[in-house]
Amino acid sequence: MNITQEEIKKIDSENMWGLISGFPDHWKQVMELTNGVELTIEPGRIKNICFAGMGGSAIGADLIRAYSLKSCPHPVQVVRHYDIPDYINENTLFIACSFSGNTEETLSALSSAMQKGAQIIGVTSGGELKKRAITNGFDYIQIPGGMPPRAALAYSFVPLFRIFQSLGYLDEGDEALDETYTLLKDGVTNFQDLTGNDTLAMAEEINGSLPIIYSDSQMMEPVNLRWRGQIEENSKMLAYGNLIPEMNHNEIVGWEHTAHLTGRLTVIMLKDKDDNPRVTRRMEIVKELVMDQALSVIEVSTIGSCRLARLFSLVQFADWISMYLAVMNGIDPTPIAKIDILKSKLAEV
């Protein structure tokens, strides 16, 4: 399929193309903005960490949780709800993530965490979250606003990297941030090429099907979620996903009765060199078991030397696939009409 910049401009009324292209610029800007961030929390009190956030504001928390799985000494949870777990107390580091600062679920969770005496950090562009931070005197990191949260992942993630870095919870440092910036910058150059690139080719392959995304359940879990979210919000397509090894104990049997879906399912397997070897073998077997029922089975592997760069290599890949899927179907990627309708109806209650 031939796509031109003129077609993209006609469809993309709010410049999602520019926002996705700006990912490395956002990354570099927020690296500088958060360099040497100072916190007033007491590290010695921390025994567990809880993030609160929704949608695009929460994906950064999911990524730092998975990224720090083998380096952070404390349990980490991401809450996407109004309510918080009962274990939260004065020994909890509670990090409220809301790009707008006005996410009602996050603000509700924040109120409960404050009542329980947790140490609080806010990450936001402003709004009510910033007001509460100033009024109640807890730490916050202000990030630039003015874009959809899903297009602001650099701004949502890097501050969390800096927080964990300052607490000594990471085994990679500034060099990982630098490598990731370079990888993202190179990626933009490659993926903008309308004469042909890997993301455009994959978008053409999965277009018109239901993407089913499988990955290891550890570092790749939030990347799996990001792929689904970007395809759903930008491309306005349903996308489904599951994790290995868990799906081997239930979902794999569901592939026995898919005749009515012949030609409609595309399997995408996200892979990283640090996947558990048994999971890697399981992926190979899953591929063998589903390839006759799926339209195609596509394997996508991370690139980069450090773990952070590898993580974001597939995050960026999904951004561009979702953009190309939108353009192929004449869909403006930015508006999220059903979410707006849902919010307006909730406001009536």
Domain segments of the chain as ranges: 36-171, 189-328
C-alpha 221/C-alpha 242 separation (Å) is 9
Residue tagged active-site, from 6, 38, 249, 348 = 249
With a cut of 80, say whether residue 307 has pLDDT above it.
yes
Specify the pLDDT at position 333. Answer: 97
With a cut of 80, say whether residue 341 has pLDDT above it.
yes
Per-residue pLDDT of 251-288, as tens digits, reads 999 999 998 998 899 999 999 999 999 999 999 999 99
Phi-psi region of 160 (alpha: psi -120 to 50; beta: other; left: phi over 0): alpha
C-alpha 134/C-alpha 318 separation (Å) is 36
Per-residue pLDDT of 90-145, as tens digits, reads 999 999 999 999 999 999 999 999 999 999 999 999 999 999 999 999 999 999 99
Per-residue pLDDT of 79-102, as tens digits, reads 999 999 999 999 999 999 999 999
With a cut of 80, say whether residue 231 has pLDDT above it.
yes
Q: What percent of the chain has pLDDT over 70?
A: 100
pLDDT (average), residues 60-73: 98
Query: Any idea which fold 36-171 has?
Result: Rossmann fold (3.40.50)
CA distances for 37 relative to 96, 141, 142, 167, 293, angstroms: 17, 8, 11, 11, 51
Strand partners, 51: 78, 95
Residue 300 near residue 203, CB atoms below 8 Å: no
- Average pLDDT across the chain, whole number: 96
pLDDT (average), residues 186-198: 96
Specify the pLDDT at position 312. Answer: 98
What's 189-328's CATH class? alpha beta
Specify the pLDDT at position 259. Answer: 87
Specify the pLDDT at position 104. Answer: 95
Q: What percent of the chain has pLDDT over 90?
A: 95
| Helix (H) / strand (E) containing 96 | strand 92-98
The yes-or-no answer on residue 233 being catalytic is yes
With a cut of 80, say whether residue 53 has pLDDT above it.
yes
Asked if 36-171 and 189-328 have one fold, the answer is: yes
Grade residue 229 by pLDDT with cuts at 50, 70 and 90. Answer: very high
C-alpha 344/C-alpha 349 separation (Å) is 9
Residue tagged active-site, from 172, 233, 236, 271 = 233
Coil, strand or helix: which one is 76? strand
Residue tagged active-site, from 10, 81, 273, 343 = 343
Residue 213 near residue 228, CB atoms below 8 Å: yes
pTM of the shown model: 0.96
